[in-house]
Amino acid sequence: MKEKEIDNMDKNVKKGRAHLLISGRVQGVAFRYYTVTNAQNLGIKGWVRNCWDGKVEVVMEGEEDKVKKLIDWCYQGPRSAIIEKVDIKWEEYRGEFKTFSIKWL
């Protein structure tokens, strides 16, 4: 494939951004660390953090189908997690992140 064709293919990929709040037993079970690993494997950018109220918050951006895969994973989380609820807010893609990392309060 020519370089120009590859550039055009990349521009045609639909991008997405999602903001999640995950409730349940999601702190103290390595949820953030597994989220980082899964996001990096999918090429997703953004961050994850523990909230003061026991929830985990995630902001992610990337190819929409890969964002949806990470959201699907968040419904299960690591083995020791118990997910009670996942609130999802879809937002406009901004392209503001270079990596996916843990954000500290």
- What is the count of structural domains for the chain? 1
Quickly state the pLDDT bin for 9 (edges 50, 70, 90).
low
Residue 35, φ and ψ in degrees, nearest 5: -65, -45
Residue 20 within a domain: yes
- Is residue 50 annotated as a catalytic residue, yes or no? yes
Among the options 8, 12, 50, 79, which is catalytic?
Answer: 50
Question: Tens digits of per-residue pLDDT, 87-105?
Answer: 999 999 999 999 999 999 7
Give the CATH number of the domain where residue 62 resides.
Answer: 3.30.70.100
Contact 80, 47 (CB under 8 A): no
Residue 12 is predicted with a pLDDT of 80
Among the options 12, 17, 25, 32, which is catalytic?
Answer: 32
Contacts of 19 (CB under 8 A, 6+ apart): 57, 58, 59, 88, 89, 90, 91
Could you identify the residue written with the tokens 């709040």? 21
3-state secondary structure of 94: coil
Question: Tens digits of per-residue pLDDT, 12-39?
Answer: 889 999 999 999 999 999 999 999 999 9
Structural domain for 35, as ranges: 14-90
Residue 53 within a domain: yes
What is the distance, to the nearest Å, from the Cα of residue 34 to the centroid of all Cα atoms in its chain? 11
Residue 100 within a domain: no
Q: Quote the CA–CA distance of 89 and 86 in Å, as a whole number.
A: 10
pTM given for the model: 0.88
- Is residue 94 annotated as a catalytic residue, yes or no? no
